[in-house]
Amino acid sequence: MLLSELKTGDSAVITKVKGYGAFRKRLNEMGFVRGKVVKAVKNAPLNDPIEYAIMGYEISLRRQEAAFIEIVSLEEASNIVGISGSARDAEEAFAKHWEGRDKHIHVAFVGNPNAGKTTLFNYMSGSQEHVGNYGGVTIDAKSATFRFDGYEFNVVDLPGTYSISAYSNEEKYVREYIMNNAPDVVINVVDSSNLERNLYLSTQLIDMDVKGVIALNMYDELERSGATFDYQKMGKMIGMPMVPTVGSKGKGVKELLREVIEVYEGKSEVVRHIHINYGKEIEDGIVAIRTELKEEKELICNMSPRFLSLMLLEGDREITDFVQRSKSAEKIMPLVKENICRVEATFSESVEAVVTDTKYGFISGALKETYKESLVNRRRKTEYIDAIVTHKLFGFPIFLLFLFTTFFATFSLGSYPMEWIEAGVGALSELVDAHMTAGPLKDLLIDGIIGGVGSVIVFLPNILILFLFISFMEDTGYMARAAFIMDKLMHKLGLHGKSFIPMIMGFGCNVPAIMSTRMLENRSDRILTILINPFMSCSARLPVYILLVGAFFSEYAALVLFGIYLVGILAAIVMAKLFKRVLFHKQEVPFVMELPPYRMPTFRTTIRHMWSKGEQYLKKMGGIIMFASILIWALGYFPVDKELEAKYTARKAEVTTAYEATIASGIGNTEVLKTEQEAKLESLHRQEVSERQENSYISRLGRVMEPVWSPLGLDWKAGVSLLTGVAAKEVVVSTMAVLYQGEEGMEEDDTSTLQARLKEHGFTPVVAIIFIVFVLLYSPCFAALIAIGKEIGMKWAFFVMGYTTVLAWVVCFVLKQILDLIV
């Protein structure tokens, strides 16, 4: 509970005081320290500020300030320590109780993209967040809780960012989180192999006056390069302790956590607040603005007055808007403009440029005293590889080769375990069939649950192999090169080079791909990238492709699968060009993207990433896919036709009677006769299911919409399958498995697999192509539509749903006419 929530007349015990350094220190000096009893005396007429009684005197705080103080009720605290005496007795008991006991530390991870921040977070907390060797992987704050040395750590992994100047969405998010949530300690994760650039963010944290510890991650790379770094001396110079770590191997993690505890408890001898000197002109401006801000409590309770003054001088848009909305804007803003004009007239460039140069000068000076570069070029290996994979002639073919290899392995290697799982599903179906009496429950289990869910789960190996390759490309750093290679093409489409990263991520799942567009600074680029992202074939569409490609194009499976994905990319290119001309005319943001050094991912990280996606796939099996399979079966089973049921019961009885009579006569081979009887009964069952479906609820729904599908050469069953696919694309296969049952005309040597059943029901190579293209182009699933709504608004989500479906129908109609002429 927060002090601002304490009701008038109630008392409570302070458990924690948050906020930036100077503000927290001022609250402590006023008596707001852990273990003290505080009472809410009264509210001002407008409910702000609030008068509190503490340590024998009254003091008023604004609600905004009181929100930085955490409390527990007096009753709750008394129950903890078992005392109900005077306030002084209670305070002494509370002090003894909390001394040496479990304490809660709120820690925020900040750092540049590719610094290994999420890897360190995962190892420390046991989480399984995705780790990628390019910017924008952590697209939201991820939190975890764990215990260490008697402390409970609540750690939050914030998005990777190069600074906190609110240039991008990530920068804005990180800065607002630090200011509004006031973490007890900030862990600044730094790439040890690129100190000068990474420490720029550290200087901004110094300006913010937050308690921090610098994790020198990937320190083994610095040591292998032959460089030397006196990090202890550097830590004392900047007032933030430094701890070497290797996040992927867990080295230095315990030392880092112990240093966080030292900083939290105020026992670190290194921690001190320093001021980076920006030169007389800027310092004079800071002092002038800061003097005016000192009395504006509502402006400076969330952030250091010095940091606020500096941001105003730099012309930070968010901070400027924040101050302009305050009552003091008329007094402060003219002073800010006056000082900006003075500094820019002196240096003939913007204040932001002068501050940036000064920060890098500060970093450079500190590194000269503590860091010694190796004579060996540490990036030589990366440069050698880049000379080939980003070559102007070889780069694009190599990228296409990577994609082809991915899809070849997905289809070829995945076919073996796929057959094993398929055989297991078939054996389970036979087991249930042999041990259950005929009836709706048996039909539900065999045709609904096992048939529907089993038809989708067989594609799990293919999904795992696809994610294995995608994970490897991301973790090594090659995905960033793919964006670099595609930048020129993306630029011609009016897109940012970084847009290619979400597009490639879409091959895995469109939802995180849509969320990852936050790495794009320009909103128009974000919207445009999201609008075309559904054309990237996600892993949920893969079962449909493999089913139909395996049935009709097995000889050229890998090539056809590769072509399907290229068609999706081509569709995205065409629509991007169209949307850019019609909807978006804003100037593009320059292509600025880091090309990180290549790193060989650990086997553990790659497998964990692959399996986490497989786990999500399996969860769908027991969730939406099972629900959809049961629903589709029920709609196809009901209403029950008593006459139809009686007719087929009689026909099955005739088959059984004839079999028993033949056995009794002793004519023929018993095993052969048994096999023939089972085949006849199975054929009758399929006929019954087929006739029942023709009169079922789902048939009525499908036939109402048949005019939509018939011009494309699709029957009502295929149409219903596509309709259910809007919920989740995997449901397309499970719906087909339920609706397409075997018929009497099956040859004895035919299998009962879904592929064989599709051929029975009139699926041809032409129909398969039309169906695949429609699945490729039409509306993304509900989860993706919801993600679009959250990112850019529901009107865009409905627009995507509508335009993709219309586009899919038109393209498939034209394609049908062309194929009919050719075939």
Whole-angstrom CA distances from 254 to 246, 251, 534 are 11, 8, 43
Helix (H) or strand (E) holding 328: none
Is the pLDDT at 743 greater than 50? The verdict is no
DSSP string across 787-819: HHHHHH-HHHHHHHHHHHHHHHHHHHHHHHHHH
In this predicted structure, what is the pLDDT of residue 576?
Answer: 86
Q: Which residue has the tokens 């440069």?
A: 383
Is the pLDDT at 179 greater than 50? The verdict is yes
If one counts every other C-beta atom within 10 angstroms of the C-beta of residue 266, the result is 8
DSSP string across 513-573: HHHGGGG-SSHHHHHHHHHHGGGS--TTTHHHHHHHHHHH-GGGHHHHHHHHHHHHHHHHH
Cβ within 8 Å of residue 250, ≥6 positions away:
123
Residue 741 CA to chain centroid, in angstroms? 38
Dihedral angle sign, alpha carbons of residues 402, 403, 408, 414? positive
In this predicted structure, what is the pLDDT of residue 253?
Answer: 92
Write down the mean pLDDT value for the chain. Answer: 81
Helix 794-822 with 782-792: angle, nearest 10 deg: 130
Q: Which residues pair with 59 in a beta bridge?
A: 52
Are 785 and 795 within 8 A, CB to CB? no
Higher pLDDT among residues 575 and 412, named by residue: 575
Cα–Cα dist 199/207, whole Å: 13
The residue among 551, 566, 582 whose CA lies nearest residue 762 is: 551
Dihedral angle sign, alpha carbons of residues 722, 727, 730, 733? negative
| Burial of 162 (C-beta count, 10 Å sphere; 0-12/13-18/19+) | buried
What's the token pair of residue 360? 């890098």
In this predicted structure, what is the pLDDT of residue 534?
Answer: 92
- Order of all β-strands in the sheet with 151-157: 142-148, 151-157, 103-111, 185-191, 212-217, 242-244
pTM for this prediction? 0.63
| Burial of 810 (C-beta count, 10 Å sphere; 0-12/13-18/19+) | exposed
Are 42 and 48 within 8 A, CB to CB? no
DSSP string across 751-780: --SHHHHHHHTT--HHHHHHHHHHHHHS--
Mean pLDDT of 296-323: 83
Maximum average pLDDT range among 13-22, 74-83, 117-126: 117-126
Residue 524 confidence class, pLDDT cut points 50, 70, 90: confident
Maximum average pLDDT range among 35-44, 198-207, 384-393, 489-498: 198-207
| Burial of 703 (C-beta count, 10 Å sphere; 0-12/13-18/19+) | middle
Q: Tens of pLDDT along 744-759?
A: 444 433 334 778 888 8
Q: Which of 23-37, 151-165, 305-319, 719-733 has the lowest mean pLDDT?
A: 23-37
Q: Which residue has the tokens 């009677």?
A: 657
Percent of all residues in the chain with a pLDDT value above 70, rounded to a whole number: 87
In this predicted structure, what is the pLDDT of residue 405?
Answer: 86
In this predicted structure, what is the pLDDT of residue 750?
Answer: 37
Evaluate the omega torsion of the peptide bond into residue 639 and state whether it is cis, within 30 degrees of 0. yes
817: left (phi over 0), alpha (psi -120 to 50) or beta: alpha
In this predicted structure, what is the pLDDT of residue 230?
Answer: 93
The angle subtended at Cα 545 by Cα 128 and Cα 816, nearest 5°, is 145
Is the pLDDT at 475 greater than 60? The verdict is yes
In this predicted structure, what is the pLDDT of residue 81?
Answer: 57
Residue 791 confidence class, pLDDT cut points 50, 70, 90: confident
Type of residue found at 713: G
Q: Which of 6-10, 199-203, 600-604 has the lowest mean pLDDT?
A: 600-604
Percent of all residues in the chain with a pLDDT value above 90, rounded to a whole number: 16
Are 409 and 399 within 8 A, CB to CB? no
Higher pLDDT among residues 297 and 674, named by residue: 674
The residue among 161, 203, 166 whose CA lies nearest residue 361 is: 203
Helix (H) or strand (E) holding 21: helix 21-29
Q: How many CA atoms lie within 13 A of 750 on its CB side?
A: 18
Residue 90 confidence class, pLDDT cut points 50, 70, 90: low
If one counts every other C-beta atom within 10 angstroms of the C-beta of residue 801, the result is 19
Q: Which residues pair with 234 in a beta bridge?
A: none
